Amino acid sequence: MTLLETKHLTREFGGVIAVNDVDFIVKEGLVTGLIGPNGAGKTTLFNQITGVDKPTSGSIFFAGSEITGFPAWKISRLGIARTFQNIRLYKELTAVENVMMGLHFKVGEDPFQHRFIQALKSYVFASRENREVYSKAMEWLRFFDIDQSAQEFARNLPYGTQRELEIARALAAEPKLLFLDEPAAGMNPSETEHLMHVVDKIRSLGVTVVLIEHDMKLVMNICDQITVLNFGMKIADGTPNEIKKDKAVIEAYLGREEE
Amino acid sequence: MNTLSLYMQYIVNGITLGAIYSLIALGYTMVYGILKFINFAHGDILMVGAFTGLLVYQGLAGAAEPGVWTLMSFFIAMIASMALCAVLGVFIERVAYKPLRNANRLAPLLSAIGVSFILSNGAAWIFGTTSRRFPYPFDNEPIHMGGVTITPHQILVIIVSIIMMVLLAFFVNKTRMGKAMRATSLDQNTSALMGINVNRVISLTFAIGSALAAVGGMLASFDFRVYPSMGTMTGLKAFVAAVIGGIGNIQGAMMGGVLLGILEAVGAPLLHIPNGMRDTVAFAVLIIILLVKPEGILGKNEREKV
Amino acid sequence: MLNFFQLILIYSGVYAMMAIGQNCITGYTGMLSLCHAGFFCIGSYATAIISKTMGLSFWLSLPVAAVAAGIVGFLIGVPTLRLKGDYLCIATLGLGEIIRNVATNINPVGYNSIPRVTLFGYQFASRNKLAFIILIWVFVLIFYLLFQRLAHSRIGRAMTAIREDEVAAASNGINVTKYKIISFVLGAAVGGVAGCFQTAYTLTVQPASYTFMVSVMVLCTVVLGGMGNGKAVILGAFIIQFISYFPQLTGLTNVIPAQAKQIIFGLILVVMMIWRPQGLLGRDKFRYGDPRSFSERISDTFRRKRKGGAV
């Protein structure tokens, strides 16, 4: 079943077309890889979908309804979470506080109550709510086996842990769809190996994953579906085996062979 | 006087005022271009420039009759004031901003507010709060030209401003150091890798910006008198000029200043804004410009990279 | 001398209240606003108008001031809060001046001989400073507790997230604009209430006194104590007022120039940013699930830590 679909999605930056008429489909329950050479528009596509940036034209559908142009916070509440290419943790806060931020709308919001009543309740019963948020956040840290760092400041954590913490923060919102922007960037082979287990764990929660990645071994190993972008345009999509054999993809990565 | 020549007069006054704003705006814009932060103390540097200029001028010319000597004294005072402000600007950068280059984004701003406070209150301590007149170094007999009156001091303002801006344009566009400055404003890290001494470029930027502010301050003091808090309002207006022209853009600051000067000189009488409300209107215009066109006319819309 | 010491306690109470508001805006949410003098002015005028012009009770002016300052905060906040740090700072500076100019145009001479505050038949006279100290500090305590709770709630956490990283906050489902406005309105409201107490004590209101200088003093209070830390901000208010009244306290008014305190405030801003940006007390280190013992907490509070400690 299709969970997310973009139709003719285009983003221009003052004459430069970063994403050009892209139809991107994410099927529920699968791990989808988004690959392409540098500057192919992968992160721009992520930013359009997650509301960090607005598309110039085209539309985005999530779980059957249109979300084009929604602000980021709304999209996140609909069930799309993300991490960032250059890790955006709350650096001056502790690891557990970071995950608590991810739980912002998970604990203490009741859609059947007026927003003002909700806020008042969150305020009056803050200690009780905090305990709940804290224990949930600790559960997420335990899930990734980083609970021993709960009271460390995010900026003092090792790089790999920071990546995991960012994923934990995103997952805390219990999204249906998780976008990972180059999760393995800057990791050594053993950290990358570990990341594969992490992605498997996420998949086991029933969360659909989309990841941008340059590490081909990782992509070919863990992705069920791959979409390839080049110069802002989609040049191929299919299973890893199909992509490996795709002429357009080989050309994009290795250049055209002289005839 | 007919309406046309009345407005011609306003425009002439506006250009004079605008030239001063431009000189000051250049300092805001150059610093923003390189450090991406607003030097809150810039307005107070222009005040220091005006005071220095006044004191040196009085020391040299004394009560002499306007003539060649007074005019020479004025230019000597200007050079002295530029030199002192350049040193002051570099000193402030070294002490108050440089240690904060990698700090939280609020830190340099708060530090700059502190510096501004130290300068204006320090001046009030030393010079007292009464305002002083800057004597004209020449006979300020108005010249009538077809319904428009122009005073020699206006001519002086415009000539000096043009000279300064031409020199700056030459420096930024034609010299090695100017090139380094432009490179640094595009990308500090890459410039450093290319062998540019970024610290030197930043110091130089502060030196040039502050020297221009000193000139601006001296020229402004003919109209506005000299007093410790003179930099606040003039500085803010110059800042608006820099925003109008697109902050970080040198040509923009020059244009923005002149545009703002003309708007102020023509707009205030045209809309019958009472004197007591002028600053309020100026602030309101400032806020509206920040809200509606924060990227200015020539500036490009910068967005945060995610 | 005792007289001035009591005066310091009264004014540090008023400034502590303002600083609590400024701390909500700058410390929690990370917005550099420079118009607290404006909110202060609104509160003072509210009390003056309600108790003098309308002849109503001072106590009524407290909610009126809070609401009026809150509404003005809202009107200022909605358009300006989407501006980036530096621009917000300049825009709010302008707005603070506009509020003062408008107040001056409404009543250029201000108000004099405003009726005294009464509570259950007791009249607070300006010469009985002790009563004022108690009155004001009771309210400081109330606001401290209210805002401390705010900081440690879902709402306060959302504000902190915005301070740390707006883009990440939005991706966590936090409505950045909404929380910025909440923070600004609450901060403005407390600033307004502080103005009421100022008027209640001095019984005069002069529009010329609500200058940019007041805003910087409040900002300085927050920076000195420690941005985001409720206790620290109150400590900051006390130190700032001590510096302000130092010449009177020591009888050195003839020796120390009037500008000395402003110069010191400027120096505080610069020196604190370079030496100790987290303020004298710094931020609360572990807000949730603190593993330390009580004594460790106390010693950590006063220990200077630049690297590894909370900033």
Instruction: Count contacts between A and C (CB, < 8 Å).
Output: 113
Q: Are the C-beta atoms of C165 and A154 separated by less than 8 Å?
A: no
What is the predicted pLDDT for the residue at C306? 43
The answer to whether residue B301 is domain-embedded is no
Domains annotated for chain A, with CATH where assigned, are 1-79+175-259 (3.40.50.300), 92-169 (no CATH)
Q: Report yes or no on B305 lying in a domain.
A: no
In A, residues 116-145, which contact C (CB 8 Å cutoff)? 119, 122-123, 126-127, 129-130, 133-134, 137-138
**What's the pTM?**
0.87
What is the average per-residue pLDDT within B226-243?
86
In 3D space, the residue among B235, B238, B237, B249 whose CA is nearest the CA of residue B297 turns out to be B249
Domain count, chain B: 1
Q: Quote the pLDDT of residue B82.
A: 94
Say which range, B287-301, C94-108, C160-174, has the weakest mean pLDDT: B287-301
Interface membership of C82 toward A (CB under 8 Å): no
**Secondary structure string (H, E, C) spanning C179-239:** HHHHHHHHHHHHHHHHHHHHHHHHCCECHHHCCHHHHHHHHHHHHHHCCCCHHHHHHHHHH
CB-based contact (8 Å) between A83 and chain B? no
Amino acid at B93: E
Chain C positions in Cβ-Cβ contact with residue A170 (cut-off 8 Å): 171
Tokens 């990440």 -> residue: C168
Q: Which of residues 73-92 of C touch B (CB under 8 A)?
A: 79-80, 83-87, 89-91
Min CA distance, B25 vs chain A (Å)?
27
Q: pLDDT class for B81, splitting at 50, 70, 90?
A: very high
C-alpha to C-alpha distance for C261 and C245, rounded to whole angstroms: 9
Judged by a CB distance cut-off of 8 A, whether residue B91 touches chain C is no
Restricting to A residues 42-61, those with a Cβ less than 8 Å away from any Cβ of B are 43, 47, 52-53
Is B171 within the bounds of a domain? yes
Q: How many CA atoms lie within 13 A of B49 on its CB side?
A: 33
Q: How many domains is chain C built from?
A: 1
Do the domain assignments include residue C72?
A: yes
pLDDT of residue C305: 47
The closest alpha carbon to B27, from B264, B248, B245, B289, belongs to B248
A72 touches chain B (CB under 8 A): no
**Which residue bears the tokens 């008014």?**
C253
Q: Do C219 and B110 touch (CB under 8 A)?
A: yes
CATH of the domain at C31: 1.10.3470
Q: What percent of chain C has pLDDT over 70?
A: 90
Computed over every residue of chain C, the mean pLDDT equals 84
Burial (CB count within 10 angstroms: exposed 0-12, middle 13-18, buried 19+), residue C84: middle
Per-residue confidence at C22, pLDDT binned at 50, 70, 90? very high
Cα atoms in the Cβ-side hemisphere of radius 13 Å centred on B257:
29
B99 within some domain:
yes
- Which domain, by its residues, includes C146? 2-302
Query: Does the pLDDT at position B293 exceed 90?
Result: no
Inter-chain residue contact C167 with B287, CB threshold 8 Å:
no
Do the chains contact at B109 and C85, CB–CB below 8 Å?
yes
CA–chain centroid gap for A167, Å, is 8
Residue C108 makes CB contacts below 8 A (sequence gap 6+) with C207
Answer whether residue B299 is part of any domain. no
- Kindly state the DSSP code that residue B187 receives in the 8-state scheme: -
Closest approach of chain A CAs to the CA of B305, in angstroms? Answer: 10
Q: C24-38: per-residue pLDDT in tens?
A: 999 899 888 888 999
Instruction: Please state, in angstroms and rounded to a whole number, the distance separating the CA atoms of residues B227 and B235.
Output: 13
Q: Do A81 and C171 touch (CB under 8 A)?
A: yes
Q: What is the pLDDT of residues C237-281, one digit of tens each?
A: 988 888 888 887 777 777 778 788 888 888 988 988 888 887 787
Chain A residues with beta carbon closer than 8 angstroms to that of C167 = 52, 72, 84, 88
Instruction: Kindly state whether residue B61 falls inside one of the protein's structural domains.
Output: yes
Query: Which residues in chain A are closer than 8 Å to C174, comparing Cβ atoms?
Result: 73, 101, 104
Residue B106 is nearest to which of C32, C265, C267, comparing CB atoms?
Answer: C32
Average pLDDT over residues C124-129: 74
CATH no. for residue B132? 1.10.3470
Strands (E), chain A: 2-13, 16-22, 25-27, 31-35, 57-62, 65-66, 80-82, 177-181, 208-212, 225-230, 233-238
User: For residue B287, is it within any domain?
Assistant: yes
User: To the nearest whole angstrom, how far is the Cα of B69 from the nearest Cα of chain C?
Assistant: 37
Higher pLDDT, A224 or C80: A224
Whole-angstrom Cα distance, residue C201 to residue C217? 19
pLDDT tens by residue, C288-300: 766 666 676 666 6
Among B106, B200, B277, residue whose Cα is nearest residue C27: B106
Taking the Cβ of residue C131 and every Cβ of chain B, the question of whether any pair is shorter than 8 Å is answered with no
Torsion of CA B34, B302, C174, C85, to 10 degrees: 40
- Residue of chain C minimizing CA distance to B108: C273
Chains touching A (at least 3 CB pairs under 8 A) are B, C
Residue B261 domain flag: yes
Nearest C-alpha neighbor of C288 from the set B176, B243, A203, A131: A131
Residue C251 touches chain B, beta carbons under 8 Å: no
Mean pLDDT over the full length of chain A: 87
| Cβ proximity of A246 and A228 under 8 Å | yes
Q: How far is CA A7 from CA A40, A77, C72, in A?
A: 18, 22, 44
pLDDT of amino acid C294: 67
Give the nearest chain A residue to C278 (CA atoms).
Answer: A92
Q: Cβ contact (<8 Å) for C90 and B239?
A: yes
Chain-chain contact of A93 with C164 (C-beta, under 8 angstroms) = yes
pLDDT (tens place) for every residue of chain A, 259 residues total: 889 999 999 998 877 888 888 899 999 989 999 988 888 888 999 999 999 988 999 999 998 899 998 999 999 999 999 999 889 999 888 899 999 999 988 887 777 777 788 888 888 888 888 888 898 999 999 998 888 888 888 888 988 889 999 999 999 999 999 999 988 888 888 888 888 888 988 999 999 999 998 888 888 888 999 999 888 888 888 888 888 888 888 887 776 655 4
The minimal CB distance from B291 to the residues C80, C223, C268 is found for C80
Those chains having 3 or more beta-carbon pairs within 8 angstroms of chain B are: A, C
Q: Closest to C291 (Cβ–Cβ): which among A93, A123, A151?
A: A151
In a domain? residue C307: no
- C170 and A71 within 8 Å at the Cβ level: the answer is yes
Look at residue C309 and tell me if it is in a domain.
no
CA-CA distance, B16 to B149, in Å (whole number)? Answer: 13
Residue A53 carries which DSSP code?
S
pLDDT tens profile C205-227 = 888 888 888 898 898 888 888 88
C-alpha C77: how far from its chain's center?
17
Interface membership of C212 toward B (CB under 8 Å): yes
B-proximal residues of C, 35-54, CB under 8 Å: none
C162 exposed, middle or buried (CB, 10 Å; 0-12, 13-18, 19+)? buried
- In which band, very low, low, confident or very high, does the pLDDT at C109 lie, cut at 50, 70 and 90? confident
Domain that includes residue B43, residue range: 3-292
For residue B108, give how far its alpha carbon lies from the nearest alpha carbon of chain C (Å). Answer: 8
- Is residue C311 one of the residues assigned to a domain? no
- Inter-chain touch C269–B117, beta carbons under 8 Å: yes
Compare all CA atoms of chain C with the CA of B293 and give the residue at the minimum distance: C83
